[in-house]
């Protein structure tokens, strides 16, 4: 392990520790701040190492994003049907106030795209997952373990949303992580999947059909 790898691993550990220790109210502000500090000093070349790259065909990428969203929904539905007791909570949980509330709905969608789509994907998939794979290797077993580990961390930061949300976000993160790896680390694709997932989720909550 090189000195650069050790430094990168230290940053990953610091990120995970911050996610574990920060209270809910400041967690997402910290994620945004960490993203800014991570990216701004390094510029465009660094963004490419996270998976921000030119798309050959944006329509194809959007189509793949829709397919990825459908895959996430399918897996979540299967798990929910297999373990119904985990999902007894009805309504929108901590987001119940979104129903019929247009300003809150618009704010939730915007934050779901900016924080969920961009910030979370950039940190969890673009940085944390790729750096751990670079350090520990990219064989199938190691990659699977890293995708699983980062998904558990991702699920943990959503614990304030309740047990059902932890399970669902863990599933979401795992499926999206696999898609990210299988598409040669295409960060734009998983950003679109995450954004679409949040848009659909908040729309169903707003309309009262969740």
pLDDT single digits (tens) 89-102: 555 567 888 989 99
The confidence band for 194, taking pLDDT boundaries of 50, 70 and 90, is: very high
- Looking at residue 113, its pLDDT comes to 94
Domain boundaries, the chain: 3-207
Are 192 and 61 in contact by the 8 Å Cβ rule? The answer is: yes
- Looking at residue 83, its pLDDT comes to 80
Give the pTM.
Answer: 0.89
Cα–Cα distance list, 75 to 31, 49, 146, 155, 210 (Å): 27, 29, 20, 16, 17
Residue 161: how many CB atoms within 10 A of its CB? Answer: 18
- Looking at residue 163, its pLDDT comes to 80
Q: Is the pLDDT of residue 26 over 80?
A: no
The confidence band for 193, taking pLDDT boundaries of 50, 70 and 90, is: very high
- Looking at residue 47, its pLDDT comes to 85
- Looking at residue 176, its pLDDT comes to 97
- Looking at residue 23, its pLDDT comes to 57
Look at residues 139, 144, 107, 114 and name the one whose alpha carbon lies nearest to residue 129.
Answer: 144
- Looking at residue 174, its pLDDT comes to 97
Of 67-71, 77-81, 148-152, give the range with the top mean pLDDT.
67-71
């Amino acid at each position: 392990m090189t000195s650069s790898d050790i430094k990168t691993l230290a940053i990953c550990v610091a990120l995970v520790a911050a996610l574990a220790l920060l209270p809910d109210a400041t967690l997402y502000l910290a994620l945004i701040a960490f993203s800014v500090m991570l990216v701004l000093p390094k510029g465009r070349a660094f963004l490419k190492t996270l998976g921000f790259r030119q798309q050959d065909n944006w329509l194809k990428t959007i189509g793949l994003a829709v397919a990825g969203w459908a895959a996430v929904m399918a897996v979540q539905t299967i798990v929910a049907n297999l373990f119904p007791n985990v999902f007894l909570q009805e309504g929108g949980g901590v987001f119940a106030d979104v129903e019929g509330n247009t300003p809150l709905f618009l704010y939730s969608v915007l934050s779901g795209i900016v924080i969920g789509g961009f910030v979370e994907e950039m940190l969890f998939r673009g940085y944390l997952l790729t750096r751990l794979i670079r350090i520990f290797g990219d064989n199938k077993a190691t990659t699977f373990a890293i995708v699983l580990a980062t998904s558990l961390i991702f699920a943990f930061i959503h614990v304030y949303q309740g047990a059902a949300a932890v399970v669902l976000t863990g599933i979401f993160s795992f499926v999206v992580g696999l898609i990210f790896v299988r598409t040669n680390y295409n960060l734009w694709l998983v950003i679109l999947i995450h954004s679409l997932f949040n848009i659909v989720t908040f729309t169903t909550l707003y309309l009262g059909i969740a």
